[in-house]
Amino acid sequence: MTSDVIALMSWHMPRNYQMCMDPHELVGLHDTAAYDIMHYAECFKNLKIGWDFAAAMAADSESVFPAIFHGDDLYVWRAYRYLKGDSDPDVEGAIALEMGKSPGRDAIRAMLVNEDGGYAVSSSYTNIRKEVIKAYEKLFFNVRDRLKDHAFIASVVYPDSRMVEAYEEYITGTGIDVLMLRAGYTKGIRHVLYASGLTNDHPYAGYNAMDGANELDKMFMQDGVFIGSMGFMHQKHNNIALSNARLSMQASKMGGNEAGNMSVIADVGSIALDSLSELTKKKAYAMSGLADAAE
């Protein structure tokens, strides 16, 4: 649903939401106007507004379902009729998808936040009917009509900003579903499909060892520069990105890679091998000296 449709929905939606702020903080507004604004904001950011609206209408015996939906938004009407007793396999499939909380559902959500990952694409890779995915998006994960609203989509994917990725416990403290969603948003469908196990098409399958090393080094340096510029330069904790960048710089200098003609990771490997070889030689000389002394 678009913001215009959601505005109409908020007008008919029962006002039983817990408000996120005191309406009196909206200085200069009458209480009614303040609650109207806050009620719309709560409806707008609710990803399952379609289902909640249908359920609210179905629960109120005196309400009349408003004629505000058209096209694919009519899945909200179908959900309302389902709750009233009608049979609807597409709505049932959407409910099952929402309740299942499976890697397949996480992959669908991750594809839906990407402009290239529409209903047909998600259906082709998951073998779930397009109509079910469409019903799921309209009822439980309403994002497709709002992809151009970058502030909204960013708030869905990164509610606490992208800076959370700088924290040391980021991976262990973040659910797989959220990691998948962010992969779809920042990297693309191919990453999502491989990470979820839906395909064996590795995103970097075409890379040789040198390509992979250079790409990884570029990631180290880009993240290090970014984190440093955001105030992490002199922090004791949560500065792994800076540490990785420094190691890459050290390896570059030790390996004579100032001109950038060789991979930093390759330099690290060659340095390690040279050091190991030198230690082996020294140990061999020492053992030889011990043997001579024994004779």
List, for residues 212-244, the tens digit of each pLDDT value: 888 888 888 888 888 888 777 777 777 777 777
Place of tokens 């009233």: 84
What is the rounded CA–CA span in Å between residue 195 and residue 121?
17
**pTM value?**
0.76
Strands (DSSP E) found in 82-229: none
Q: What per-residue confidence (pLDDT) applies to 167?
A: 83
Report the greatest alpha carbon distance in the chain. Answer: 106
- Predicted confidence at residue 268, as pLDDT, reads 47
Helices 103-112 and 189-196 cross at an angle (nearest 10°) of 180
Q: Around 198, how many Cα atoms within 13 Å sit in the side-chain half-sphere?
A: 24
**Residue 11's pLDDT is what?**
87
Report the phi/psi class of residue 142: left, alpha or beta, with left for phi > 0 and alpha for psi in -120 to 50. beta
What pLDDT does residue 184 have?
94
Residues of the chain short of pLDDT 70, as ranges, are: 16-32, 252-295
